[in-house]
Amino acid sequence: MKTTLALTYSLLLALSLPLAAQQTGTLKAKVDPGRAGVFLDGKYLGPASNFGMSRTYTVAVGEHELKLAEPRYQEIVTKVTIEAGKRSVVTEKMTALPVPKPPFGIIKTHSADKYAAVYINGKYYGHNDEFDNFAQGLLIPPGQYEVRIEPASGAAVVKSVTVVADQTVVVQ
């Protein structure tokens, strides 16, 4: 009986794998700048690339809204169609916004998920790994901010902070 159940389960699993592959395709975003966040139907997938290598994401088949966001550039919103078992490649060069003027304070973030999305006052600013070491931080004008760190799984961290010129605030 156990052997029959194990064989039946193995057969069902083997038959379902091709079916699952038929219901998904992959999305590769080649974006300049590579640190741009990739959002599909409003959900953050992660950065477009890491260390110059474009990342690939598994996506359900069909038409989707793709948003590319990076705080120093104009957002790009477009449609992308994902076909079963195929890779869709989106290539975009974002347009830089004017450089802000000082003074600045610094926000640093800490999260176990290095690709956790970081939002300031509801706007995407990057992923945790960009603001999580001694040499990195987000330069931002002094003021009051709500910082949200949203990992791929688990609860988001939301903190209200006051940024002062030439000082660092850490959110974890």
Domain boundaries, the chain: 2-93, 105-171
What's the pLDDT tens digit per position in 71-98? 999 999 999 999 999 999 999 999 999 9
- The Cα-based distances of 88 to 27, 85, 126 in angstroms read 5, 10, 23
Q: Is the pLDDT of residue 12 over 50?
A: no
Model confidence at 49, in pLDDT bands (50, 70, 90)? confident
Which CATH class, in words, describes the domain spanning 105-171? mainly beta
Model confidence at 1, in pLDDT bands (50, 70, 90)? low
What pLDDT does 54 receive?
81
**CATH architecture of the domain formed by 2-93:** Sandwich (2.60)
Q: How far apart are CA 32 and CA 72, in angstroms?
A: 12
Q: Do domains 2-93 and 105-171 have the same CATH topology?
A: yes
